[in-house]
Amino acid sequence: MPIKLEIVTVERLTFSDDVDMVIAPGSEGVMGILPHHAPLLTTLAYGELVVRKQGQDDLSFAIGGGFMEVQPDKVTVLADAAERADEINLDRAQEARKRAEGLLQSGKKLSLDEQTRAEAAIRRAMTRIKIARKRSKRRMPRSE
Residues 42 and 14 placed together within one structural domain of the fold: yes
Residues 101 and 113 placed together within one structural domain of the fold: yes
Alpha-carbon distance of 62 to 79, in angstroms, equals 10
In a domain, 144, yes or no: no
Residues 40 and 104 placed together within one structural domain of the fold: no
The domain that holds 133 is classified in CATH as 1.20.5
Q: Domain range holding 129?
A: 88-139
Query: Would you state the pLDDT for residue 142?
Result: 46
Query: Residue 40 — very low, low, confident or very high, per pLDDT cuts 50/70/90?
Result: very high
Residues 8 and 44 placed together within one structural domain of the fold: yes
Helix 90-105 with 112-139: angle, nearest 10 deg: 150
Q: Provide the domain count of the chain.
A: 2
Each residue's pLDDT tens digit, 95-130: 988 998 988 888 788 888 888 888 888 888 898 899
Each residue's pLDDT tens digit, 46-71: 999 999 999 998 999 999 889 999 99
Residues 17 and 61 placed together within one structural domain of the fold: yes
Report the predicted TM-score, pTM, of the whole model to 2 decimal places: 0.79
